[in-house]
Amino acid sequence: MKRTISPLVLAAVLGASSSAVLAQTGNYAERPEGKALLERLQTKDNVDLNAARALLEDARYQPKIVATMRKPAERTLTWADYRPIFLQPERADKGAAYIQEHQALFDAAEAQYGVPANVIAAIIGVETKYGAFIGRDRVLDALATLAFDYPERGAYFTRELEGFIQLCVEESLACDSEIGSYAGAMGLPQFMPSSYRAYAVDGNNNGRRDLWKEPADIINSVANYLAEHDWQRDGEVALPAWLVADNDIARIERSKREPAYRWSALKKLGVRVDLEPADDTDVGLLEFQGADGAEYWVGLNNFFVITTYNHSPLYAMAVYQLGQEIAARQATQAR
């Protein structure tokens, strides 16, 4: 029996094919979601419609970005796997050299924001190895692809794309050529557009914030981000810990992004450190699987501030330990 396709089904198929073609040609300005974004940029954000449309029409669909986002992790990294990626002598050496090269900027940032130079440098080192690798993808393409062709997180990336287009107008960025990560993170500190707009600083007072080429902007922006997320001046980040012999570790909650105890309570559960914080200090017990087995740390406020930059406790510990290695090299240089 000959089958016929109803007009409604045919329209749906043609519509889907049309959307696929539009995606592949990058003509996001003609997609319904693109039109809605353009209207919002014009009416809500006061962005020139022609400038916004030109950017959206220039965006190109990148299927490899969607494939990367959807690729399941082959395995969950342990601290034993993660640490060697970021804790190498070369990276620490470069961090100390970067501070030395821009010492006056780091000193000023630390005085203003209370964030030590070695922590600021460690974040830049973990993120992009001081600019050696800032990503391979055009930020415009990455954000447009994920906003319109990655429905799993389309709403989030649409907001980030909106923020990026606003930035292009506000900061006169070279938005047709700026390179970043496949998720749209930008510059040496890898700020997403929302963080760029909220926390980036014009450190050299030249009227714009450039996180690719201006060390004053890069250094002050990282410090400002951490300060705005309640970094405590002169506060500790993490303390190596151990458990008393008869401790039942299973009954202690592990922390990831926020403290779970006051120190007095955690101490009663059998956790010990060499230099104890005040009893009313908010802390969390961290557990990592290192090369020699389980490692325990007590995370303090500043550790959890770092997890606002990247949610992984592994990331925060890498930043902390790289910062410690950078500080050790600075001390050697000062002798």
Pick the catalytic residue: 110, 127, 295, 325?
127
Q: Which residues contact 173 (CB under 8 A, 6 or more apart)?
A: 167
Residues belonging to the chain? 335
Q: Are 129 and 91 in contact (CB under 8 A)?
A: yes
Q: Is 175 helix (H, G, I), strand (E, B) or coil?
A: coil
Q: How far is CA 303 from CA 123, 262, 313, in A?
A: 13, 15, 8
Q: What is the dihedral of CA 184, 187, 188, 190, to 10 degrees?
A: -30
Dihedral of CA 225/226/228/229: which sign? positive
Dist. CA 9–CA 47, nearest whole Å: 38
SS3 202: coil
Q: Return phi, psi of residue 140, to 5°.
A: -60, -45
Residue in the structure block whose two tokens are 């073609």: 21
Name the residue type at position 138: R
Closest of 164, 178, 179 to residue 51, by C-alpha: 164
Q: Is 162 a catalytic residue?
A: no
CA 164, CA 65: separation in Å to the nearest integer? 18
Catalytic residues: 127
